[in-house]
Structure 1
Amino acid sequence: MSILKKGKILVTGGTGYIGAHTVVELQQNGYEVVIIDNLSNSNIKIIDQIKTITGITPTFEKLDLRDKTNVFDFVKSQPDLEGIIHFAASKSVGESVKDPLLYYDNNICTLVNLLNAIKGRPVNFVFSSSCTVYGEPDALPVNELAPVKTAESPYGNTKQIGEEILRETANAGNGLKVIALRYFNPVGAHASALIGELPIGVPQNLVPFITQSAIGKRGQLTVYGDDYDTSDGSCIRDYIHVVDLAKAHVAAIKRMEAGQMDAVYETFNVGTGKGNSVLEVVNAFERVTGVKLDYRIGDRREGDIIKIWGDVTKSQNKLNWTAQLGLDEMLASAWAWEKYINENPF
């Protein structure tokens, strides 16, 4: 059965982890996809992997969003652009604490350049935001009406500022419609094991460090703190399968296309609605894969929130989206991907 052709969507950072999975979902829903990426934290071979999964090669342009002239020229060359999904950003909490200016340059200046380039054009814009905008929440699960607190890290602050910029720009009435998706913690890989998280250098996130440690690429895994106010002392996060997260972006685009928005700027939590501790994830990985992990308990890490998970009722009701895959599927797929890239190095 052929897929009805839909509009053209620009995906910034589309060769990255979440971006690549979203490109797959967009293509499988009939959208024409254009990717721009500077490849600073991704690999061009992902384009071929996407083609293998979907049978379609997305248009790709190597471009750094910090280069204002090139951004303007590129957007001008795409007069039929209907939507943008903006992933391109640096995303490590720890790195942002060490180098705040890198994060403000790469996460804020790039967004402003992109918005200036599309100024005055009616565009559906999906923003890659984060649950870090809530800081340490007053109550759990945290919903979209919870206050946005002072950020715990420069990374979190760039997401807060990004949301403010987008809200104010959309409210200025220039044809821009925005949905900001506040991600919780994406993990896992595509069922094909052809795309997944591909960190350059030492992973900053838990699951790729687990899989790399398990396969022998890394040494001992460190759990940062076991004396927090949680059931086992380790931090708690709402982990979501990256494929479920990718599907939420398609749902957001469809909501805007259908004229269903309640306002020109909306926010949605994208998670499972439940939390798992770091040690629960470690134990689940061992159970699902049969691989014993070598780990130690280390000191707390600066910028880490103790516990957070989301209320996803609004996403279920308004986006018609619900996470379908659980922690076991997340870890099994992440392990399948790790084994694939171990045998097929990028």
Structure 2
Amino acid sequence: MNILLTGGAGYIGSHTALVLAQAGHNVVLFDNLSNSDAAVPEKISSMAGKKLPFVQADVRATDLVEKALREHRIDAVVHFAGFKAVGESVAVPIEYYANNIHGTVSLLQAMQRVSVKTLLFSSSATVYGLPQYLPIDEAHPTHAINPYGRTKLHVEEMLGDVARSDAAWRIMCLRYFNPVGAHESGMIGERPNGIPNNLMPFIAQVASGERERLQVFGNDYPTADGTGIRDYIHVMDLAEGHAAAVHYLQSHQGWDVINLGTGQGYSVLDMVRAFEKASGRGIPYVIAARRPGDVPACYANPAKAKRLLGWQATRSLDDMCASTWQFQRNRV
């Protein structure tokens, strides 16, 4: 298939591009490089052993999206292009609504113009809000509690409306839990601009000496060690989940939603200890106050992904930490 990846040079997009290319698909990267490295498209091409076309443009430029769809005879789109930091979304909600929602509308308009009606959407477990029960399955009520989560939920609902309007659409929303890790080569991985918003890249920067210490937000939660528990999934498992979903959409119409997680929760201190083991470095940390909106624990029930996609996560916490450390050492 000819597949366009919006946000294809980003963290999850780049790993998915590689997996899809290695599976024999013709992958086209579409990215404005607002939160990604300009060197990534060339790295992916080198790793895949073939040139992946790269279009540097904003997904809100509908005419440019349409041009890419036509020129590359695209069959399906994987839509990663979106801002993704919860705290930042609270500070600049207009930017999040403009990019995440307007960007998706623009993409859909372009797809409709050229009759490309297969779409895989990068959603998030943030759409569930505060967990009412664990593990979280797809039937769990949705109640996003921050602008980022609301943009993801609104796009999901919008895509449901689109699928119901025309039976030719094939749309799946993948709700990620906590992607971490890097390709085993260490050539691509998570490289956030500025101060990392996510735990793993922050820990990696502490281990390498770029940052002095980690702040652990709260150690009085009702968990085994008092720190928050999350479902961390290796980015390569996540990428393989996308490849399985693309295959599924080739023979299934309509709209659906699937969790991508491991079903296993790890605490913040579990992550610190695992990274110390992988890196051979100490990770200094201090305990800080809880952050508003954080919950004691959140992890997936991934049974639907196994049932429908034949996919399940296979990489361990040690794999997550070792690959992150390899990438970190390559970039410093």
- Bin the TM-score by the shorter chain: over 0.9
Residue aligned with 2:112, SS = coil
Runs of 4+ off more than 6 Å: none
Equivalent-residue separation in structure 2 for 1:97 and 1:232 (angstroms): 29
| Letter of the structure 2 residue corresponding to residue 314 of structure 1 | K
Question: Under a length normalisation based on structure 2, what TM-score does the superposition of the two structures give?
Answer: 0.97
| Letter of the structure 1 residue corresponding to residue 280 of structure 2 | G
Cα offsets for 1:123-180 (capped at 9, x unmatched): 221100011111111111010111112x121111111001001111011116221111
Query: Structure 2 matches for 1:208-247, cutoff 5 A?
Result: 208-247=201-240
> Among the aligned pairs, what percent are the same residue?
44
Residue aligned with 2:313, SS = coil
Tell me if 1:266 matches 2:259. Answer: no
Query: Structure 2 matches for 1:193-212, cutoff 5 A?
Result: 193-212=186-205
**Alignment gaps of 5+ in structure 1:** 1-6
Range that drifts further, 305-314 or 23-32? 305-314
Q: Do 1:15 and 1:43's aligned partners in 2 also have CA atoms closer than 8 Å?
A: yes
Corresponding residue of 2:265: 275
Tell me if 1:181 matches 2:171. Answer: no
Corresponding residue of 2:11: 17
Q: CA deviation at 1:298?
A: 1.0
Tell me if 1:37 matches 2:31. Answer: yes
- Given the alignment, which residue of 316, 323, 328 partners 1:333? 323
Q: CA deviation at 1:72?
A: 3.6
Tell me if 1:28 matches 2:18. Answer: no
Corresponding residue of 1:125: 119
Range that drifts further, 301-310 or 324-333? 301-310
Q: CA deviation at 1:122?
A: 4.2
**Alignment gaps of 5+ in structure 2:** none
Cα offsets for 1:242-280 (capped at 9, x unmatched): 0000000100010111x1x3x510111101011111111
Q: CA deviation at 1:289?
A: 2.2
- The two structures, once aligned, show a CA RMSD in angstroms of 1.3
Tell me if 1:105 matches 2:98. Answer: yes
- Given the alignment, which residue of 126, 135, 138 partners 1:144? 138
Q: CA deviation at 1:218?
A: 1.4
Corresponding residue of 1:256: 249
Equivalent-residue separation in structure 1 for 2:190 and 2:76 (angstroms): 25
Q: CA deviation at 1:99?
A: 1.1
Q: Do 1:273 and 1:310's aligned partners in 2 also have CA atoms closer than 8 Å?
A: yes
| Letter of the structure 2 residue corresponding to residue 336 of structure 1 | Q
Q: Do 2:74 and 2:116's aligned partners in 1 also have CA atoms closer than 8 Å?
A: no
Equivalent-residue separation in structure 1 for 2:168 and 2:210 (angstroms): 48
Range that drifts further, 221-230 or 176-185? 221-230
Equivalent pairs counted in the alignment come to 331
| Letter of the structure 1 residue corresponding to residue 194 of structure 2 | G
